[in-house]
Amino acid sequence: MIAVQNLAKRFGSTLLFEDVTFTIGSKEKVGLVGRNGLGKTTLLKIIAGIEQPDEGSVSISRHYSIGYMSQQLHFTKPVVRDEALSLLPESEQHEYWRAEKILSGLGFTTSDMLKRVHELSGGFQVRLQLAKTLILNPDMLLLDEPTNYLDITSIRWLARFLQNWPGELLFITHDRGFMDSIVTHTLGIHRNRIKKIKGNTQQFYEQIALEEEIYEKTRINDERRKKEIEEFISRFRAKARLANLVQSRIKTIEKMQKREKLVPLKNLDFEFRYKPINAKYVLQVDSISFDYDETPLIHNLSFSVAAGDRICIIGPNGKGKTTLCKLLAGSLQPQSGTITRALGVETGYFEQTNISTLNPNATIEDEISYSDPDNNKQRARTICGSLLFEGDDALKPVSVLSGGEKSRVLLGKILVKPINLLILDEPSNHLDMEACDALLTAIDSFEGAVILVTHNELFLRAIAQRLIIFQNNTISIFEGDYERFLEKVGWVSESDITRTGHTDQPESKLNKKELRRIRSQLLQQKQNECRPLQQRIEYIENEIMHYDNLLKQCNTDIILASQSQKSSEIQRLSIEINKLEKTLSGLYDELEELMELHEEKNRHYDRLIQEYA
């Protein structure tokens, strides 16, 4: 469908990528991954024809159409129905039946279609942006961060929609769980190159790690072998009877590929400073209420926060999650009820809108050190480095930073002070997958209490021990993790209830007992198919270790044989080393295939099980 050949792109002296070659075939759903600033959006724009590469070409099948949805929301018409048709030729912009067909499928009611665009929630604005693309009826969808501004129910809806998309798909998102639920292939920008594999992001990063491990082992072995050969040549160059062997070794060195040492990639590496506290509970919330412009958000809510709690606040946008965070952090006061903080509570509060509170003229280092009770410049500089603001980058003024960089500065202002209560309101926005992984690790390692607002289901599954749920205009406390919530309660789409009187979840067709039975059967099938693969993988890994040890011993023996001038032994060991290297290569190939098959099985059954969650 699409073939990319030898693509390269630079911005000034900065190389984004080069020598990029890949294809996207029929029905493939491809997730594009890579760190922020490596050129993911640029690559999508090149494929869409919006930007031109410096080198290479993009070949697209004849009569093949592409629909590109930018991460930047841009609307030109005042009314929803008119905006949905705005990308069509002017002569077709009155064919309202086309807009109504697509908008209805995306969850818009008849009254929604006649609303002013600015009246829509962020989630429905994203759906409108998607509708504009779908009305063009493209063969391929290019989506750049389609989950931006979406709440958790909208993200789950979009995942189901894209899973059922009949054409090709190439998309960017930093939500790893969302991506893995959709993709058939992963395309990654790594070290200015692009690699495509069959499978999800975990398989991609495991493949990259395995290849780099093999590369580094090969490089070390090559350097050791080259050194051994050079020693052999130096030792026996003057020996006439070994002249042929010496010449052979010289030719071997000439043919050996020069492998440069891989430069370690810099990753976020930070941890929150914990301030010990003796209290069993850090917060006690008693019957609090808060309304905004006569809109009731929180009514008579009570709960307690223990010193080591992991509480996630979840629900659709606009229901009061951020307001609750502000109340718990003390930046808002409840209109009724009380919030009691234990003696010695120190709070670290992250809120996206706090970016506007940063001093644009201050340096990164200064902004972070301002939040340090000791105003310790060295500590601030260390934290800057852990957040990838190294060296002179720490002296950049805040005004020149991107949204993602400003989010890291906000994190730095929390990291610099000792705390025992961490309140995070959608902290993963603007962070790439690697940064999200680092944040997840830091939260998991923090000894204090954590209250987290997130729409990222990967975070929810990893962190949540208790839930505060905004749903159906009510707030409830769920004592359990996210998986248990999905099993016992689940999400209810209010728009679906209004329109049809029931949900489109499996519970509408099957009772809970039947659902549990099906899930149990699927889990057993998954175990039966994956266990033998896992056992074979472990066996191959042990074999690799065994043959690798044999290879190391042979390399040692050939050095000793060279020193003893045992030419027949040198020849025998050379043949043995060649055999071992071929065996290892075959084992690595088999291991790669087994791991790919194992992950494919896991992904297949996880999707089936999710359908009955």
pLDDT of residue 255: 79
For 394-418, give one letter per residue: b (16+ CB within 10 A) or e: bebebeebeeebbbbbbbbbbbbbe
pLDDT of residue 504: 37
How many whole angstroms separate alpha carbon 468 and alpha carbon 447? 21
pLDDT of residue 503: 36
Highest CATH level, class, for 513-611: mainly alpha
How many contiguous H segments (helices) and E segments (strands) does the chain have? Answer: 19, 18
Decide: pTM greater than 0.85.
no
Q: Say if residue 105's pLDDT is above 90.
A: no
pLDDT of residue 612: 63
Q: For the segment 567-607, what is each residue's pLDDT rounded down to a tens digit?
A: 888 888 888 888 888 888 888 778 877 887 788 777 777 77
pLDDT of residue 613: 60
pLDDT of residue 502: 34
Q: Render 63-114 in DSSP notation, one character per residue.
A: T--EEEE-SS-----SBHHHHHTTTS-GGGTT-HHHHHHHHHHTT--HHHHT
Q: For the segment 282-299, what is each residue's pLDDT rounded down to a tens digit?
A: 999 999 999 987 778 999
- Per the structure block, which two tokens stand in for 61? 């099948």
Name the percent of the chain lying above pLDDT 70: 94
Same fold, 2-206 and 513-611: no
Strands 2-11, 14-24: parallel, antiparallel or unpaired by DSSP?
antiparallel
Q: Which residue has the higher pLDDT, 23 or 489?
A: 23
Q: Say if residue 204's pLDDT is above 70.
A: yes
Is the Cα dihedral 382, 386, 392, 393 positive or negative? Answer: negative
Q: What is the dihedral of CA 290, 296, 302, 305, to 10 degrees?
A: -70
pLDDT of residue 341: 95
Output the CA angle 340-346-350, nearest 5 degrees.
Answer: 100
pLDDT of residue 230: 82
Q: Say if residue 272's pLDDT is above 50.
A: yes
- Per the structure block, which two tokens stand in for 271? 């941890």
pLDDT of residue 507: 37
- Give residue 228's identity as a one-letter amino acid code: E
State how far the alpha carbon of 393 is from the alpha carbons of 263, 270, 381, 397, in Å. Answer: 20, 17, 10, 9
pLDDT of residue 102: 84
Closest C-alpha to 324, from 529, 467, 120, 443: 467
Domain boundaries, the chain: 2-206, 207-255, 281-497, 513-611
Burial of 369 (0-12, 13-18, 19+ CB in 10 A): buried
pLDDT of residue 423: 97
Are 169 and 130 in contact, with CB atoms under 8 Å apart? Answer: no
Q: What is the mean pLDDT of residues 460-487?
A: 92
- Per the structure block, which two tokens stand in for 425? 């309101």
Alpha-helical segments (H) within 260-376: 321-329, 364-370
pLDDT of residue 477: 94
pLDDT of residue 100: 86
pLDDT of residue 501: 34
State how far the alpha carbon of 441 is from the alpha carbons of 271, 386, 463, in Å. Answer: 8, 14, 10
Strands 29-33, 55-60: parallel, antiparallel or unpaired by DSSP?
unpaired
Burial of 511 (0-12, 13-18, 19+ CB in 10 A): exposed
Q: For the segment 2-30, what is each residue's pLDDT rounded down to a tens digit?
A: 999 999 999 888 899 999 999 999 999 99
Query: What's the mean pLDDT when you consider all of the chain?
Result: 86
Q: What is the mean pLDDT of residues 103-127?
A: 84
User: Under CATH, what is the fold of the domain 281-497?
Assistant: Rossmann fold (3.40.50)
In sequence order, the 6+-apart residues with CB closer than 8 A to the CB of 438 are: 267, 268, 269, 270
Q: Does domain 2-206 have CATH number 3.40.50.300?
A: yes
